[in-house]
Structure 1
Amino acid sequence: MTLLDLTPRVATSDRLATLPVLIIGAGPIGLAAAANLAERGIEFVLLEAGDEVASSIRLWGHTRLFSPWRHVIDPASRRLLAAAGWTAPADEGSAPTGRELVDDYLAPLAALPEIGSRIRFGTRVVAVTREGMDRTRTAGREKTPFLLRVQTSYGQIEELTGRAVIDASGTYTSPNPLASTGLDPIGAADVDGLVLHALPDVLGADRATFAGRHTTVVGAGHSAANTLIALAELAEQEPGTRVTWLIRNPSAIRVSSSPDDELADRAKLGSRVDQLVRTGQITLVDSFEISRLQPNGDGVRLVGRRRGDDAFLDADLVVNATGFRPDLGMLREVRLELDDIVEAPRRLAPLIDPNVHSCGTVSPHGFAELRHPEPGFFLAGMKSYGRAPTFLLATGYEQVRSITAWLDDDMPAATEVQLTLPATGVCSTDLASGGSCCS
């Protein structure tokens, strides 16, 4: 622990002390931040772009998480719920689906009066700044309220002020592009509607979209694996359904199939995909670097390079399961300090580098690693991990516990960061909004 880690919360003006903490995103981490603030009696407002809590998780609610219930319930949230008569899921050793996570935990949490009364739905944050200041002005900055410009679901533009900001808005709505360069492939607009978001409900609501068609899944992580398994099952039921798996590396090292993985469901996922490839139910195309997309009849042609040669692959549909990145556009006027590679807070980045760490080997971290040059501003949850796919919900819960302690001038609690995570295996969530198939 360094001397800097013990620096207390910045001094506040009389006005700043009367303002609420503004939380962006009502997913698991945003709601956990709200629960921690509520326990400490700190006023807050929770801003959610969707019309209900965990709107991103609801999009992939059919997918089962890796972590069991005991790892996906925030401790402060559990205490508040228990006090209101809530009963935890009977089998806390089992892993819930995203839908179960919402229905059995997050929705009841958001319905608590101390939290639900402070949520503003249909309120999308479009910009964060300081009141009367752009990012170039320094004098008096730490005593000046934050100003958030928001757009409501009715199209109205409003501005809100707060003493601090916790951005837990996730990354699920910001997928990585298909092209290996990190840019959108040339021609992407010409095949709009044929490239689909990660984790479609292949065996449920989206069944008719994929039945009898050839789908190429692009990506080397666990969201790709979930979709591949579902498509292979669909192919057994619907004639003409074909599945291709395209990755840019020689192997999909992110999909764990280790028998020693403490998250058993994660290991089973990788093993199942391996088996489907071996039996020919999934066609694997490795070392393919996409550069361009072209219409091809009613389908799409992926054009690029493979092992030094020009290559192409035709499909009816493409699922983009290449992972996610933070949308930093709304933070243009905030003084951020991000790692050049991972796009996570600079002090956090070495602890979560996916080239070194899996989910279970990430060190405990809190406000000290999450700080930016902008006093009182924090990225939390999946968005704090930038492009690193090693996030677990338990990690985000400890982040916001530490942040809220710091906001309350409780430095012993803020600095004593502790975390026990499931170990071994390689973890790639490729999901966001604080919840994932890995979390």
Structure 2
Amino acid sequence: MSLTLTVPPRPEVDRRAGLPIAVIGAGPVGLAAASHLIERGLPVVVFEAGDTVGAAVREWGHTRLFSPWRYVVDSAAQRLLEAEGWTAPDAEGLPTGDELIDLYLQPLARTAALASVLRYGARVEAVSRQGMDRTRSVGRAAAPFVLRLRTAEGTTDVMARAVIDTSGTTNSPRSLLSSGLAPEGDLGDRVTTALPDVGRRDRARFAGRRVLVVGAGHSAANTLIALAALAEEEPTTRVSWAVRNEGTARLAADAADDLAARGRLGAAVHGLVTAGRVEQIASFEIDDVRLSDAGVRVSGRRAGEAFAVAVDVIVNATGFRPDLSMLAEIRLGLDEIVEAPRALAPLIDPNVHSCGSVPPHGVAELTHPEPDFYLAGMKSYGRAPTFLLLTGYEQVRSIAAELAGDRVAARQVDLVLPETGVCTTDAGSCCA
């Protein structure tokens, strides 16, 4: 006896059809991603943990960027803005972080195209696939993404067709200890992250205190210049600068920088050291930081010998690293050292590349084992500080093209960057 199948096999339903692409973070790169997706007619939703766009930028808003306006405005975002009558600032002007928000990000967020897709006060706590932890493979690519959000009303799960994580790294500073481990015990307000507002908001925290700045990059240099100016007004202020290497030749190299403001910064901070206004503690490997009767005791090895210094407050300008905890159920393909996507890591290695020598790259270098999931912006660079906003804008342009099915445009990456000296850690990117 034979059986005849009267019902043909049912094709698999596209469970992701009609779902938006979720962008995590409403900073410059997140809004650029949304702008490119909207231009291509793709549905998008942007989740921002803060109450406004650029919340992380606002933390260092008093700081002037190294990059002029022509390097910090995304092309698709500019087209959306100009369609509503926006006039771009002077292309050669150097904005502060606050001006970047007030003159660019906020007007962009108010455009008709973006205003309806932004969700403020929505912190993404976890990302997964519907019905699938990271161990399940069959049908994985067809399953929608699930994002767990925390809002003022509690937690909720939302679904998305694809995810672009542009949440950055500024909330995840690297450790003060050379080992990378966290210091033991709670240091309270004795430690501040990079780029405090020394001259205004945080002045009382530093005036008349013994201050140690740790880090060899541009955020350290900015802070040292501000502290030296404070010490002129408050002579009991003492400023020290701890670096792991024998010196800071990389900052000195900025004299040949196409970003002129960065070149002047390097020269200025070395002038402070030469004049004795800043004490440089070179070759200092910090092993321990803990509270003491004298304030904070910072101990370790200096040029191989035991060394310690007592201070009142520490500025941690050692850089940032990505917080990947919310991606525990996502299949990431990361370089073991830099913590960037494996194909991207050798292109951004800070031992080889400056901001301006990073080759153009896009979706091909940003793809993970998890289909349709991407890290973009500062978070895609892992622990490397060689990031420029222009690079992030090209990343999300390429990703948007890929998600729109335009594989040719996605892989035609083209980017002209300013020639720069060797890039070191600053506010999370070389634009600041």
TM-score normalized by structure 2?
Answer: 0.95
Q: Distance in 2 between matches of 1:431 and 1:18?
A: 38
Q: Which residue of 2 aligns with 1:51?
A: 51
Q: Distance in 2 between matches of 1:221 and 1:284?
A: 14
Q: Distance in 1 between matches of 2:392 and 2:252?
A: 22
Which of 312, 315, 323 lines up with 1:319 in the alignment? 315
Q: Distance in 2 between matches of 1:382 and 1:424?
A: 18
The one-letter code matched in structure 1 to 2:407 is: M
Contact 2:386-2:430 within 8 A present in 1 as well: no
Judging changes above 3 Å, is the alpha-carbon distance between structure 1 residues 308 and 83 closer, same or farther for their aligned structure 2 residues? same
Q: Which residue of 2 aligns with 1:165?
A: 163
Q: Which residue of 2 aligns with 1:42?
A: 42
Q: Which residue of 1 aligns with 2:178?
A: 180
Judging changes above 3 Å, is the alpha-carbon distance between structure 1 residues 145 and 38 closer, same or farther for their aligned structure 2 residues? same
Which of 302, 307, 314 lines up with 2:303 in the alignment? 307
Judging changes above 3 Å, is the alpha-carbon distance between structure 1 residues 300 and 12 closer, same or farther for their aligned structure 2 residues? farther
Contact 1:428-1:438 within 8 A present in 2 as well: no
Q: Which residue of 2 aligns with 1:127?
A: 126
The one-letter code matched in structure 1 to 2:163 is: V
Q: Does residue 27 of the first structure (1) align with residue 27 of the second (2)?
A: yes
The one-letter code matched in structure 2 to 1:438 is: C
Q: Which residue of 1 aligns with 2:196?
A: 200
The one-letter code matched in structure 1 to 2:431 is: C
Which of 212, 216, 235 lines up with 1:216 in the alignment? 212
1:282-338 per-residue CA deviation (whole Å, 9 max, x = no partner) reads 000011111112223362110111122211011110000000000000011000000
Contact 1:256-1:270 within 8 A present in 2 as well: yes
TM-score normalized by structure 1?
Answer: 0.94
The one-letter code matched in structure 1 to 2:97 is: G
Secondary structure of the residue that 1:66 maps to in structure 2?
coil
Secondary structure of the residue that 1:413 maps to in structure 2?
helix
Q: Distance in 2 between matches of 1:249 and 1:258?
A: 17
TM-fit CA distance, 1:15: 3.0
Q: Distance in 2 between matches of 1:165 and 1:416?
A: 22
With 252-261 and 28-37 compared, the bigger mean Cα shift is at 252-261
TM-fit CA distance, 1:424: 3.1
Q: How does 1:34-183 map to 2 (within 5 A)?
A: 34-89=34-89, 91-154=90-153, 156-183=154-181
Contact 1:220-1:253 within 8 A present in 2 as well: no
Contact 1:402-1:415 within 8 A present in 2 as well: yes
Q: Distance in 1 between matches of 2:125 and 2:320?
A: 19
TM-fit CA distance, 1:172: 0.2
CA RMSD of aligned residues (A): 1.4
Instruction: Return 5+ residue gaps in structure 2 as ranges.
Output: 1-10
Q: Which residue of 2 aligns with 1:243?
A: 239
The one-letter code matched in structure 1 to 2:176 is: L
Secondary structure of the residue that 2:149 maps to in structure 1?
strand
TM-fit CA distance, 1:239: 2.3
Q: Distance in 2 between matches of 1:111 and 1:12?
A: 40
With 13-22 and 263-272 compared, the bigger mean Cα shift is at 13-22
Q: Distance in 1 between matches of 2:254 and 2:168?
A: 28
Q: Which residue of 2 aligns with 1:357?
A: 353
TM-fit CA distance, 1:238: 1.3
Give the count of matched residue pairs.
422
Judging changes above 3 Å, is the alpha-carbon distance between structure 1 residues 259 and 303 closer, same or farther for their aligned structure 2 residues? closer
TM-fit CA distance, 1:204: 1.1
TM-fit CA distance, 1:411: 1.4
Contact 1:431-1:437 within 8 A present in 2 as well: yes
Contact 1:186-1:291 within 8 A present in 2 as well: no
With 390-399 and 117-126 compared, the bigger mean Cα shift is at 117-126
Q: Does residue 14 of the first structure (1) align with residue 14 of the second (2)?
A: yes
Contact 2:176-2:318 within 8 A present in 1 as well: yes
Q: How does 1:319-398 map to 2 (within 5 A)?
A: 319-398=315-394
Secondary structure of the residue that 2:133 maps to in structure 1?
coil
Q: How does 1:289-308 map to 2 (within 5 A)?
A: 289-297=285-293, 299-308=295-304
Instruction: Return 5+ residue gaps in structure 1 as ranges.
Output: 1-10
The one-letter code matched in structure 2 to 1:293 is: V
Q: Which residue of 1 aligns with 2:424?
A: 428
Secondary structure of the residue that 1:412 maps to in structure 2?
helix
